[in-house]
Each structure stands twice: as C-alpha cells, then as structure tokens.
Amino acid sequence: MPASGFGGFSQRTGLKPTIAAIINCDIVIASPSTTFALPEVKRGVVAIAGALPRLWGLVNKVVNDAVQGVVDMAHMNVENSQDAITVSREGIKMGWEGFGAEEGTRLWQEIWYPKLLAGENVNEGVRAFVEKRESNWKAAKL
C-alpha cells in the first residue's frame, strides 16, 4: 500500500483540493438541482465554529454529465480564495484523521486558522463583500 493510500488517493496530502465525479460517502441523497457548499470561501473566510471536521459525505453537485460537472467545479474553485479553500480542506481532513470534532476543531484553529488570518485574502474577501464587488484574490502563500 503506498503512503498515499489505496489507489494513491484515500490518504492524499497536499494543499490543493481534489475534485471527483463520484465521492466516498455514507448516504447522501440529492436531486440534480441541489447543491451543497461552504460559502465562506467566496469571501476568503472559513467555517470556524466546528463544522469542518463534522462534514462527512459532502456533495457539491449532482450532474447528468460528470465530465462537464468536474470542469465546472474546477472553474468555480479557481474563482474563490485558494487560502480559504486550503484551510477549509485541512479542517475537513481533521475529521477524516480521527481526531473527533472537538479536538479536530481545536487543532485546526491552533494550526491553520492563524495562517489564514496572516494572509491577504481574508481581508480582501471581507472588504469586497462590504463594498459589494468581486474579490481580487492574491496567490495563496500557505
């Protein structure tokens, strides 16, 4: 078994999120018109109140054309704060890694949240929201 897990995917590491047409989940039922998301990343912030390590089986979109759905998701991903996406993903990984919601949230807040706050994108996202304009993201420096 490689260090990255079964198929090189199940214990993947790295700072960039992966996008899949089919994901590993317990039970998620969604109609083709349903979407789920972490809207905080559109503003350069993250869900800090403990939601990240509690997320299991999150579905972003159910589509009829999986290839086009993956392409659309990739386009949507690059329109958001890469810092916030990375930090959000790290919070979700805390839940995968068996820390439990409370300990995972504590560790995530201690390790990753300060990195987000030290970057430029969190201020840009909030400022853009207040000014009712699109965010002008800087390259991620995490």
Q: Which residue has the higher pLDDT, 69 or 45?
A: 45
Phi-psi region of 109 (alpha: psi -120 to 50; beta: other; left: phi over 0): alpha
Question: How many CA atoms within 13 Å lie on the side-chain side of 63?
Answer: 14
Encoded tokens for 113: 């949240």
pLDDT in tens, 31-62: 677 676 778 888 998 887 766 766 666 666 67
- DSSP H helices in the chain: 66-78, 82-96, 101-111, 113-118, 121-130
Confidence of residue 23 (pLDDT cuts 50, 70, 90): low
Looking at every residue in the chain, the average pLDDT score rounds to: 80
39 close to 83: Cβ distance less than 8 angstroms: no
128 close to 134: Cβ distance less than 8 angstroms: yes
Q: Which residue has the higher pLDDT, 68 or 130?
A: 130
